[in-house]
């Protein structure tokens, strides 16, 4: 386990956990993954309280597991951020490191397979609580710069970071029209304590992404589909 201290420079209770990515690059143990092809598989965020600008925090990065597989390495890391009151945020991230050859093959397979499938019927896309997730590539690039993400799969294949999509979902409810469902969703996302992300397929800058939202037992669940009807991501917030 490696530790370091850092001073936080922003204050956004909703989005701060997704900007902690830039802290990873400061850990010596994470240096081997710089400029490597990383594909996010799962992320669990547990937020006890928001971060505050100007405050110095203590961070620990722990490699929970590492498995060598064919053409890739599966990693599971836990980042813990604490202040004088104790733990503020914990993030468990699972990702795979793929070789250039494997990444190009897998990416091509995803696109080719999707192109061969029929488009999802409009009736299914017209979900009662559907949200359009508009991707603006310049904003994606700005986010990557802000979090110091040098993962080449983003600029080379225009795969959109899953964290960025999660932030779009959070922001959607801030700007959504006022109705009973949106009001409840906004209350959940505005004061969330836990977010679970699960990634099934890469999402690209050229994709048309639609989220289908449900609320079950106080938990907001959004499943994100691309234009081919392929489920790409599941977002759970409570």
Q: Are 160 and 205 in contact (CB under 8 A)?
A: yes
pLDDT per position as a tens digit, 83-117: 999 999 999 999 999 976 445 445 444 444 444 44
Q: Cα angle at 15 between 174 and 29, to 5 degrees?
A: 165
The second-level CATH assignment, the architecture, of 2-98 is Roll (3.10)
144: Cα separation from own chain's centroid: 12
* Domain chopping of the chain, boundaries: 2-98, 119-237
Which pLDDT score, from 0 to 100, does residue 69 have? Answer: 87
Contacts (Cβ under 8 Å, ≥6 apart) of 129: 181, 212, 213, 214
- Closest CA relative to residue 225, chosen from 85, 90, 130, 88: 130
By the 10 Å C-beta count (0-12 exposed, 13-18 middle, 19+ buried), 5 is classed as exposed
**Regarding predicted confidence, which is higher, 176 or 30?**
30
Pick the CATH number of 119-237 from 3.40.50.720, 3.30.70.20, 3.40.1360.10, 3.10.129.10: 3.10.129.10
Torsions phi, psi for 113 (to 5 deg) = -65, -40
Q: What is the pTM of this model?
A: 0.88
Distance from C-alpha of 33 to C-alpha of 50, rounded to nearest angstrom: 28
Mean per-residue pLDDT over the chain, rounded? 89
Percent of the residues in the chain that have a pLDDT greater than 90, as a whole number = 78
What is the rounded average pLDDT of the residues 131-156? Answer: 95
């Amino acid at each position: 386990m490696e530790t370091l201290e850092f001073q936080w420079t922003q204050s956004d209770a909703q989005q701060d956990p997704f900007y902690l990515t830039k802290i990873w690059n400061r850990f010596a143990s994470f240096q081997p993954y710089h400029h490597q092809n990383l594909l996010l598989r799962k992320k669990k965020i547990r937020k006890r309280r928001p971060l505050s600008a100007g405050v110095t925090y203590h961070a620990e990065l722990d490699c929970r597991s590492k498995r060598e597989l064919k053409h890739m390495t599966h990693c599971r890391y836990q980042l813990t951020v604490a202040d004088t009151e104790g733990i503020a945020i914990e993030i468990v991230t699972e990702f795979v490191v793929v070789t250039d050859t494997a990444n190009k093959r897998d990416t091509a397979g995803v696109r080719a397979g999707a192109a061969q499938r029929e488009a999802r019927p409009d009736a299914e896309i017209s979900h009662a609580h559907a949200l359009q997730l508009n991707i603006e590539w310049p904003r994606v690039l700005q986010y990557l710069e802000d979090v110091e993400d040098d993962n080449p799969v983003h600029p080379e294949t225009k795969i959109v970071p899953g964290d960025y999509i999660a932030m779009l979902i959070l922001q959607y409810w801030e700007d959504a029209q006022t109705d009973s469902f949106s009001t409840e969703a906004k209350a959940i996302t505005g004061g969330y304590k836990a977010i679970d992300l699960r990634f099934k397929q890469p999402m690209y800058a050229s994709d048309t992404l639609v989220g289908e939202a449900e609320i079950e037992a106080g938990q907001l669940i959004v499943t994100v589909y691309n234009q081919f009807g392929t489920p790409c991501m599941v977002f759970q917030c409570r």
